[in-house]
């Protein structure tokens, strides 16, 4: 097992509430929990759309907390995703985050998205993703990794995302990096390299002009950005 694979497991093992990733997420979502409390106090219930999310992610929030506040979470993932049956506070729906036409305007109290913006595609799709997220929600909480943080969070390799595309393609064809096995072909390698398009602070602020932007830091370095609109 490669060093980057070990790091990926230690940082991204969200089944373990003591892992670095879980601890960071628990601290990160404090503003989200404040939003949920505010909505519950006003409406007596809370509807959340989690775009590109998972039930596993919400394991950092006690089920009792969600139940007491009558939180209903609609988890949206791409068509073809293996979605579990609806249960508890969770409803699972297939849809493209850049085209949420099945949902009406302002039909959710809160839109939530964690480490998804970088995966939706090129800049045009990022803009469309944000437009749809803002359209279907009254408030939102959106997080994405920082391009200028030195460790790429998916490949868990220092400076990987700063290298030219041909160099990244060569690396994923020859090494296990982070969450990924060695690519079997050039085509697979290109798809992996294009898997995530990280954004800078300026890009993020442009996308979320009406939001308060928070910066999550790791050892003093800006690791990711969070857009919060209440």
What structural domains does the chain harbor? 15-150+196-229 (3.40.50.150), 154-195 (no CATH)
Task: Inform me whether the pLDDT recorded for 20 exceeds 90.
Answer: no
pLDDT value at residue 18: 54
Q: How confident is the model at residue 88 (pLDDT cuts 50, 70, 90)?
A: very high
Q: Under 8 Å CB-to-CB from 224, ≥6 apart: which residues?
A: 28, 115, 143, 144, 145, 146, 149, 215, 216
Q: What is the mean pLDDT of residues 99-119?
A: 97
pTM for the model? 0.89
Q: What is the pLDDT of residues 36-50, one digit of tens each?
A: 999 999 999 999 999
User: What does the alpha-carbon distance between residue 213 and residue 230 come to, in Å, rounded to a whole number?
Assistant: 12
């Amino acid at each position: 097992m490669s060093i980057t694979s070990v790091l990926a497991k230690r940082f991204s093992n969200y089944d373990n509430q003591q892992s670095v990733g879980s601890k960071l997420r628990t601290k990160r979502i404090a503003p989200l929990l404040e939003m949920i409390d505010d909505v519950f106090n006003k409406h007596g219930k809370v509807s959340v759309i989690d775009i590109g999310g998972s039930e596993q992610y919400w394991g950092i929030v006690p089920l009792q907390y969600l139940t007491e506040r009558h939180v209903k979470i609609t988890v949206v993932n791409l068509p073809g995703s293996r979605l579990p049956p609806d249960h508890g506070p969770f409803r699972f729906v297939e849809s493209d985050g850049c085209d949420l036409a099945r949902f009406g305007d302002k039909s959710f109290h809160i839109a939530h998205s964690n480490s998804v913006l970088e995966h939706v595609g090129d800049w045009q799709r990022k803009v469309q993703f944000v437009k749809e997220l803002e359209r279907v929600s009254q408030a939102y909480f959106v997080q994405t990794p920082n391009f200028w943080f030195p460790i790429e969070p998916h490949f868990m390799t220092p400076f990987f995302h700063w290298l030219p595309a041909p160099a990244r393609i060569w690396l994923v064809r020859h090494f296990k990096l982070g969450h990924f096995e060695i690519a079997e072909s050039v085509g697979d390698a290109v798809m992996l390299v294009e898997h995530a398009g990280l954004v800078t602070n300026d890009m993020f602020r442009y996308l979320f002009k009406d939001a308060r932007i928070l910066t999550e830091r790791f050892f003093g370095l800006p690791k990711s950005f969070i857009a919060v609109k209440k």
